[in-house]
Amino acid sequence: MHSLRILQYNTDNLRWGWEYLESVVKDSDIFLLQRFPKDKKSDLEDLLDGRTFMVESTPTVGDLCVVIGKSRRVSSFYGTESIPLPSAQHVMVNGDTFQGCTALKTTTNGINIVSALPCYSQSGGEFPIGEMDRRTDIEHLLKECSDKPTIVAGDFHKHPDCESTNTLIEKYGFVSHLDEYNTWHVPGEEQKNLDKLLTNFDVDISDVIVYDDKIKNKKIQGHIAISYTLTYDLKED
What DSSP string runs through 190-209?
A: --B--EEEEESS--EEEEEE
Which phi and psi (to 5°) does residue 141 adopt? -65, -50
**What pLDDT shows up at residue 7?**
98
**Is residue 135 within 8 Å of 164, Cβ to Cβ?**
yes
Return the domain boundaries, the chain: 2-232
Q: What is the pLDDT of residue 222?
A: 95
> What distance, in Å, lies between the first and last C-alpha atoms of the chain?
15
* Inter-CA distances, 70 with 21, 85, 87, 122, Å: 15, 24, 29, 33
- Looking at residue 22, what is its pLDDT? 97
Strands (E), the chain: 2-10, 30-37, 50-56, 64-71, 78-84, 102-108, 111-117, 150-155, 175-176, 184-185, 195-199, 204-210, 222-223, 226-232
Cβ atoms of 99 and 61 within 8 Å: the answer is yes
- Provide the residue-wise pLDDT of the chain in tens; the chain has 237 residues: 899 999 999 999 999 999 999 999 988 999 999 999 999 999 999 999 999 999 999 999 989 999 999 998 888 899 999 999 999 999 999 889 999 999 999 999 899 999 999 999 998 777 889 999 999 999 999 999 999 999 999 999 999 999 999 999 999 999 999 999 999 999 999 999 999 999 999 999 999 999 999 999 889 999 999 999 999 998 754
pLDDT, tens digit, 9 for 90 and up, residues 61-73: 989 999 999 998 8
pLDDT of residue 117: 98
Q: For 2-232, which CATH class?
A: alpha beta
Phi, psi of 94, deg, nearest 5: -70, -25
Q: What is the pLDDT of residue 236?
A: 57
Cβ distance 159 to 191 under 8 Å? Answer: no
Per DSSP, what are the bridge partners of residue 56?
65
What per-residue confidence (pLDDT) applies to 237?
44
